[in-house]
Structure 1
Amino acid sequence: MKKLLLTITFIYFSLLSFSQSIEFEKDNFPGKKDEMKVARKQLDIGTEFYLQGRKEFDDFKKSYMSEHRYCPVSHYDYQKAGYQNFRDGLSPLLTAQAFNPNNARLNYMLGFISFITDPTTAQTLKYFETAYKLDPLAEPDMAFWLAWSYHLNSRWDDAIKYYQIYLQAGKKNAMETEDVTKKIAECNSGKKYSANPERVFVDNLGSNINSSFPEYGPSISADEETIIFTARRDNSTGAKRDENDNGYYEDVYSSVKLNGKWQPSKQLSKNVNTENHDAAAGLSSDGSKLYVYRHSGKDGGDLYETVLFGADWEPPVHMNKYINTKYHESSVSLSFDGKRLYFVSDKESGLGDRDIYYSDMDVKGEWGVSKNIGPVVNTKYGEEAVFMHPDGVTLFFSSKGFNTMGGYDIFKTTLTNGVWSAPENLGYPINGPDDDVFFVVSGSGSRAYFASSKTGGFGEKDIYKITFLGPEKHPLLNTQDQLMAMAANPVSNLKVENAVEVASAKLTILKGVVTDAKTNQPLEASIDLIDNDKNIVLATFKSNSSSGKYLVTLPSGKNYGIAVKRDGYLFHSENFNIPDNAAFQEFTKDVALKRIEIGSTIVLRNIFFDFDKATIRPESANELERLIKLLNDNPTLKIELGSHTDSKGSDDYNMKLSDSRSKSVVDYLIGKGISTARLVAKGYGETKPIDTNETDDGRQNNRRTEFKILEK
């Protein structure tokens, strides 16, 4: 430690001996009296604006420290305090600098203004480097801003060096010492993660999504067919600019994917976008519910919910008192079944600046009292941008705490038996020294979407896609694996030693279109998701009233029943028994609902029997209750219950088994009050296959119970 202090002291006083700052004095510019006079006047004008802006900035910092009990961690924490004065002072200061580029304080002021507007640019760093080289004592915090600029440009060792110089050059209060010590730790994390980059490709989503204006806050449906995001474009509703930063007001935009390509993005209608700020805060995994952030000025900012009805979104509804408070609520994520809502708030009961909370839906469909997710996830520095993956157990969020590389980094935590795991940094290049927020992952877990201010983009912020490559593999692969794991160093030539497992992706996506079986017209229908083992309805979804499209996510580890229902039609059922270790899969299942008329037949896919017996298993209860409701709602119906087998076993045995099973179903219905006169039991054995008997899947399809309408 003593050796380090001696080194820092040597560097510091060595730099003092090389101060070369040139002041705006006539003796320094012989023969340029008039030019110097003009430059000096511009310097005075610019300095006045700078000082006014700096006072606003310092007052904001003082207030922030008083409220939070720590220094602003991210440059975004400063909320561009003093921005307007800094902006007004920029032009005259640049005029003065064009005349005299070698004044330390002038370069410092330009560096500071540049830091407020765009801290990661090379120009910001150049101003501070020049100022420090000319006179490191020109401003007492010169080393700090130079260090932070190095930090934001991933020059980790340089940043550490100047943070240490700043830390040793004069007395600091406890919060300032904590801040610099934290930033040094962030640089050490940055060195560690950037030396071992994750295997990913990062691609800009292109001009159909991004523009010369900022785009950020993406949300996607689980199948990656819909993206919703926020943009500040010149065609914003009302075309107004925010006086705080001169940017256009936020609006919400969307795009859909056709043939694997994102289509040109469109503004959502005036149902959603107003003349004020409207930002996308979250999207349900099926793409049918959207959460919007609005700030009315009466509170810290609230959350609203809107539902896609046909081709348009309904007017957003203000969420209840358990979600919205007088404080700032932002960033929403809905569980796969729609029963739990995760969100971010800075209300006073939190553990830190902003915390992640959750609320469960009650039996009336209302959100209940919210609860803090707890200290394993929430830190005193604040969390943001929560996203619960459709697998139901993997939570992604941004945090300024833990082992970040600077500002907000993206972390993940996994829920096991009600306990959250220690958050894991997703590493470089997913995270970097600047703020990394609003990270959403596809249902497959193989891709993610986020916003970043990367060099070479279309605007200040663009939306990017990350493709996770996984560990390196040997050549004996299937085609998809080859595409996902061929490159050894996809991001850079740095050594690759580890691969991130982003999400478990142990889920199945079921999607399709619901139509009328005769007319092929799209239908709005209710879709029940049932846990067959527990005989409970986990969630109810709806197909879109305009397109008939639906999407349901099924986390692995359950025997699911799916029931598609609409008044005037026979219900349609499907069964998905998904093992706990099942990997990601996606099925398209179009459903053609049949009207209630004589001759209509449906398969009851969620009626189960004990092996080789006619005993109805308990998990059949939900399917049978749907059939009972159909018969009670239509009291004149007379139906046939037909049972079928595959071709294994003798013809005589299969006929007897199927006959016994059909009678078991009829007996069950009679026991529930359905008249015997309305029911006919019929065993068909193996005589009416609907699939091949040469495969397991085919035989499973042939083993079925059907009902047919005989009289109406």
Structure 2
Amino acid sequence: MPFRLFLLLLLASAALPATAQSVAFTKDNFGDNKDGLREANRELKDGDTEYRADPPRYAAALPHFLAAQQFNPNNAALNVKIGDCYLHAPTKTAALPYLQRAAKLDATADARTHYLLARALHLSGKWREALAEYQQAQPTGSNTRNGDAEAITATDLQRYMQQCRNGQQLAAHPTRVFIDNAGPELNSPDSDYGPVVSADESTILITSRRAGSTGGKKDPEGNGYFEDIYQANWQGKKWSRASNLGTPVNTDDHNATVGLAPDGQRMLVYVGTNGGDLLEANLTGTTWTKPKQLGSRINTKNHETSASYSPDGRWLYFVSDRVEGSLGGSDIYKIDLEGRNQPVNLGTTINTGAGEEGVFMAPDGKTLYFSSEGHNSMGGYDIFKSVFENGKWSKPENLGWPINTPDDDVFFVTSASGRHGYYSSDRPGGLGAKDIYRITFLGPEKPPVLSQEDQLLASRLAPVKQTVLAPAVAVATAQVTILKGTVTDAASQQPLDAAIDLIDNASGQTIATFRSNATSGRYLVSLPSGTNYGIVVRQEGYLFHSENFDLPAGAAYAEVVKDIPLKKLEVGTTIVLRNIFFDTGKATLRPESTAELERLQKLLTETPALKLEMAGHTDDVGEAAMNQDLSQRRAQAVVTYLTQHGIAGARLTAMGYGETRPEVPNTSKGNRQLNRRTEFKVTAK
């Protein structure tokens, strides 16, 4: 270093004070700027009025404190207050520089300085520095600012230090994900959060505090406008611009999204009345109905803040801070919506003595996502995953860094495929306060592959001529199939509002009943793997339509589009019975056929003049004569079942067509399966 530069640096360092000192707002320090001092003290007084309110109005106090800090940036107590306000704001990490300055000026100016600085460092992911500050922090009694019971106990400090240690461990092994801002289509300059998506990721609903709310009211605590619910639709490469649902879903009060049924036809809404209740709205055509109370079994005088449907719509998982049955804080409960029993606490594997929040049951029907302040959280609420298998919940798994942060991470949902997740977060570079983010799960990292040649090739100037690729690493996807499409009138092609029954063929029981949209005819059904499903679509005045999905346990995610034209009861109409099953090469009806046969029996019973031809068909594998005989015997087996169950034989005819009438060319395994079918044709009505 040149001597002249060294001398200048030495003189500059000598001019700095050995220790920084807090500067009071007094005439002794600012006698030459009395007007500025007077204005600064006025801002301090106004800020303190908001800050010491019960409860404190941090957002309202902050602008006053910042104005005073512009006049005098070197007052320790003021910097502590600014830091405290930011710690209660959406942008919590903004607290750090103010609290660092306060600690340097005078760490004794406020008994909470080390604690608040530790919180700011913790929330910034500075684990080691935060631990050091927590170790210097002391438990406090009641907060003397406003006389409330806000206290920091030794237990609190120990919990925060353990969270920092958890954060160190989790951040050392980050989860492989892309986390992308959902963009201006969903996000605004204000807070946007609480995303819920349909199973096929075609529709998203969010909660926003943006301008243009239904009531036009602003939150008195300075947190933007009152909450409203907005909706957007996927347009191939991005979301459409979110639009306000308007009345009757949104009102002059706060209205927030909570959950969405997999088919997007039912929505759970949170309202702040009665301490906080859960309501349900239905999509009729293109409009949502006025949300209705879910009843006293779910809602209490306490807070019920979050909920999620099971894929079949029968069960509801929800969060409540009710006293009865609680393990501490808010817990997650499960209730049968069709029954009369009281909710059941999910137990100690899921719930902790701390708070749980943001419950979401994935479309596979067994993977539960939720947020918790307990378990191995790295700070605030972290998102966890647990799977229900063999009659019990697995140990909750932290989704890890960078999905989880030291701040609250809540209201995480996934698409049915499991490839994408959505949640809200306050991250640098966002479009406002809280923003909606899309997570893409990348799966495990590819293992490194070393060339068998000289490993020093990389240091040569000549390029390596042969590229060695690592084997692909499969990204785990959910074990669920999404069946979706449109129900229409076969003749007019107009959409129909039809009932869609989901049948467990093994038991013959109806698992759930859904409806297609009255205006568009669209439907969506989530089918977790491990079941032989019968899908029956029915509407008054039409013959039923059946489909079969036999999904073995472990079957990977698939999305099937199946448009269903319903046919009216007319002579000559043919209906394929996809849920009639025979063993290979045999004509004995399997037990899984019972539900389909009972539907056919009911149709004949309710329509006394109806006459049917039962037809059997095969593929072209084997000799034609054998196929002809097999198809005849199978058609006859159906007729025999019906006559044994009260249907007059004169109304039924059995015909075997063998391989002579294929639906599709016998060119693949899938096509041959379609051609092996049983169907009926209306011969009289």
Provide TM-score, normalisation by structure 1: 0.86
Question: Hey, what does 1:309 align to over in structure 2?
Answer: 284
Partner amino acid for 2:307?
A: V
Q: Does 1:148 align with 2:122?
A: no
CA distance in 1, matches of 2:122, 2:241: 36
C-alpha distance after superposition, 1:234-263 (max 9, x if no partner): 111110112233521111111111234311
The aligned residue for residue 14 of structure 2 is: none
Kindly tell me: are residues 604 and 89 of structure 1, through their superposed partners in 2, closer, same or farther at Cα, counting changes over 3 Å? Answer: closer
Deviation at 1:618, TM superposition (A): 0.9
1:424 deviation in Å?
A: 0.9
1:285 alignment partner AA: P
The alpha-carbon distance between structure 1 residues 686 and 261, as it changes in their structure 2 partners (threshold 3 A), is same
> How far apart in 2 are the matches of 1:474 and 1:162?
40
Q: Does 1:162 align with 2:133?
A: yes
Q: 1:91 to 1:608 in 2, by over 3 A?
A: closer
Change (3 A) 1:256 1:614: same
Partner of 2:329: 353
Q: CA deviation at 1:508?
A: 0.6
Q: CA deviation at 1:375?
A: 1.3
Aligned equivalent of 1:135: 106
> Structure 1 stretch 634-643 or stretch 164-173: which is displaced more?
164-173
Aligned residues: 640
CA-to-aligned-CA distance 1:205-224 (integer Å, 9 cap, x gap): 11111111211000001100
CA shift for structure 1 position 229: 1.0
Q: Which residue does 1:219 correspond to in 2?
A: 196
Distance 1:632 1:544 in 2: 29
- 1:387 equivalent in structure 2: 360
Tell me the CA shift for residue 691 of structure 1: 2.1
Distance in 2 separating the partners of 1:169 and 1:309: 55
CA distance in 1, matches of 2:248, 2:50: 38
1:478-509 per-residue CA deviation (whole Å, 9 max, x = no partner) reads xxxxxxxxxxxxxxxxxxxxxx9998601111
1:194 aligns with 2:171: yes
Q: Is the aligned partner of 1:507 residue 2:458?
A: no
How far the C-alpha of 1:397 sits from its partner, in A, is 0.3
- Does 1:290 find its partner at 2:272? no
By how many angstroms is 1:475 displaced? 11
Counterpart residue identity of residue 158, structure 1? E
Q: Deviations over 1:406-442 (max 9, x none)?
A: 1010001111122111111100010011110010011
**Residue 23 of structure 2 aligns to a residue in which SS?**
coil
Q: Per the alignment, in what secondary structure is the counterpart of residue 153 of structure 2? A: helix
Match of 2:632 among 656, 659, 668: 659
CA contact (8 A) 2:60 2:221 kept: no
CA shift at 1:269, angstroms? 3.2
Counterpart check, 1:704 vs 2:681: no
Residues in 2 aligned to 1:230 and 1:624: alpha-carbon distance in whole angstroms = 47
State the alpha-carbon separation in 1 of the partners of residues 122 and 413 from structure 2: 26
Q: Is the 8 A contact 2:60 2:222 kept in 1?
A: no
Deviation at 1:611, TM superposition (A): 2.6
What's the offset of the Cα at 1:119? Answer: 5.0
User: Are 1:612 and 2:609 an aligned pair?
Assistant: no
Residue 601 of structure 1 pairs with residue 578 of structure 2: no
SS in 2 for 1:668: helix
The answer to whether 1:469 aligns with 2:439 is: no
- Counterpart contact for 1:514–1:543, Cα < 8 Å: yes
* Further displaced range: 252-261 or 675-684: 252-261
The answer on whether the counterparts of 1:147 and 1:163 sit within 8 Å (CA) in structure 2 is yes
Alignment of 1:534-549 (within 5 A): 534-549=507-522
CA 1:105–1:701 in 2, change beyond 3 Å: closer, same or farther?
Answer: same
Q: What is residue 66 of structure 1 aligned with on the other side?
A: none
Partner of 2:25: 24
**Deviations 1:127-167, CA, capped at 9 Å, x for gaps:** 11111101111111111111111111111111111111114
SS in 2 for 1:159: helix
Q: Does 1:643 align with 2:644?
A: no
CA contact (8 A) 1:42 1:93 kept: no
Give CA deviations for 1:612-655 in whole Å, capped at 9, x if unaligned: 22111111011011111111222111110000112222222211
CA distance in 2, matches of 1:125, 1:631: 75
1:237 to 206, 214, 222: 214
* Structure 1 SS opposite 2:500: strand
Give the match's secondary structure for 1:238: coil
1:673 corresponds, among 643, 646, 655, to: 646
Q: Distance in 2 between matches of 1:233 and 1:254?
A: 14
Q: Which of these residues, 602, 609, 612, is aligned with residue 629 of structure 1?
A: 602
Once residues 386 and 237 of structure 2 are traced to their aligned partners in structure 1, the CA distance between those partners, rounded to angstroms, is 31
Q: How far apart in 1 are the matches of 2:216 and 2:197?
A: 26
Compared with structure 1, are the counterparts of its residues 195 and 699 closer, same or farther at alpha carbon in structure 2 (3 Å cutoff)? same
Separation in structure 2 between the aligned mates of residue 252 and residue 224 of structure 1, nearest angstrom: 18
Deviation at 1:661, TM superposition (A): 1.1
Partner of 1:264: 241
Contact residue 268 and residue 281 of structure 2 kept, 8 A: yes
2:523 is the counterpart of 1:522:
no
Give the counterpart letter for 1:630 in structure 2.
L
Matched, 1:430 2:407: no
Taking the aligned partners of 1:473 and 1:19, their CA distance within structure 2 comes to 51
Measured after TM superposition, the shift of residue 265 of structure 1 is 1.2
Q: For residues 223 and 382 of structure 2, what CA distance do their matches in structure 1 show?
A: 27
Paired with 1:244 and 1:369, the residues of 2 have a C-alpha distance of 37
Name whichever of 98-107 and 44-53 sits farther off.
44-53
Conserved? CA contact 1:156–1:190, under 8 Å: yes
* Change in CA separation of 1:343 and 1:151 when aligned onto 2, cut-off 3 Å: same
Cα deviation, 1:392-412, whole Å, max 9, x if unaligned, reads 111000011111111010001
Letter in 1 for 2:371: S
One-letter code of the match for 1:652?
A: A
Note closer, same or farther for the CA distance 1:24–1:690 as it changes in structure 2 (3 Å cut): closer
- Evaluate the alpha carbon distance shift between residue 199 and residue 246 of structure 1 in structure 2; reply closer, same or farther with a 3 A threshold: closer
Is 1:176 the counterpart of 2:176? The answer is no
Given that 1:143 and 1:166 are in contact with CA atoms closer than 8 Å, whether structure 2 keeps it comes out as yes
Is 2:306 aligned against 1:331? yes
Contact 2:382 2:410 in 1 (8 A): yes
2:77 to 105, 108, 116: 105
Q: CA deviation at 1:195?
A: 1.9
What is the CA distance between 1:39 and its match in structure 2? 4.3
| Cα displacement (A) at 1:174 | 10
Q: Which residue identity is paired with 2:220? A: E
Deviation of 1:51 after TM superposition, in Å, equals: 4.4
Change (3 A) 1:414 1:87: closer
Greater shift, 96-105 or 611-620, is seen at: 96-105
CA–CA distance in structure 1, aligned partners of residues 198 and 376 of structure 2: 30
Partner Cα separation in structure 2 for residue 55 and residue 174 of structure 1: 15
Task: Tell me the CA shift for residue 189 of structure 1.
Answer: 1.3
The sequence identity of aligned pairs, in percent, is: 49
Counterpart for residue 319 of structure 2:
344
SS of match in other structure, 1:262: coil
Per the alignment, in what secondary structure is the counterpart of residue 522 of structure 1? coil
The one-letter amino acid of 2:134's match is Y
Point out where structure 1 has 5 or more consecutive residues left out of the alignment: 1-15, 58-80, 477-499
Aligned mate of 1:247, from 224, 233, 240: 224
User: Does the aligned pair in 1 maintain the 2:572–2:682 contact within 8 Å?
Assistant: yes
Deviation at 1:391, TM superposition (A): 0.6
Counterpart code for 2:282: V
Give the letter for the 2:302 counterpart: Y
